[in-house]
């Protein structure tokens, strides 16, 4: 087995696990925030599911796309270097997408005069 194939396997396994694990956590915990923005339960659930789907599509697409740009790996230190770089980029992308979604939901709530910072939930369903 070449170093590139070993790198691909480790990269795909670690990154896919991370993407799925974080996606499930954001989906289950994010619904509470989304319910404050969209007071209709059906709308909140749909938006939450669409955010999860978009999250998976963007991240897994990026994951597979980056493999095509790898240079040949000749030794173990080079393998570690490329894995840490690529997995680090995945983590940064996850954070950027997460904060972008929070900002969009915040702006939507602000434009619709929804108070997100009270302890009382606006959910009425």
How many other C-beta atoms are found inside a 10 Å radius of the C-beta of residue 64?
12
Q: How far is the C-alpha of 33 from the C-alpha of 48, rounded, in Å?
A: 10
Q: Which tokens hold the place of 98?
A: 């997460």
Q: Where are the alpha helices (DSSP H) in 1-125?
A: 3-37, 41-67, 76-111
pLDDT of residue 27: 93
Q: How do the pLDDT tens digits run along the chain, 125 residues long?
A: 689 999 999 999 998 998 899 999 999 998 988 888 887 899 999 999 999 999 999 888 888 888 888 888 999 999 999 999 988 988 898 899 889 988 988 898 888 877 777 655 555 54
Its pTM stands at: 0.76
């Amino acid at each position: 087995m070449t170093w590139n194939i070993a790198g691909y396997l480790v990269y795909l396994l670690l990154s896919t696990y991370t993407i799925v694990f974080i996606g499930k956590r954001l989906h289950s915990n994010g619904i509470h925030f989304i319910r404050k923005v969209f007071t209709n339960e059906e709308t909140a659930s749909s938006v939450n599911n669409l955010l999860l789907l978009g999250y998976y599509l963007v991240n897994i697409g990026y994951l597979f796309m980056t493999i095509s740009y790898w240079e040949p790996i000749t030794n173990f230190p080079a393998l570690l270097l490329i894995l840490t770089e690529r997995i680090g980029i995945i983590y940064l992308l996850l954070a950027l997408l997460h904060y972008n979604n929070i900002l969009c939901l915040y702006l939507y709530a602000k434009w619709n005069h929804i108070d997100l910072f009270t302890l009382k939930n606006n959910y009425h369903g």
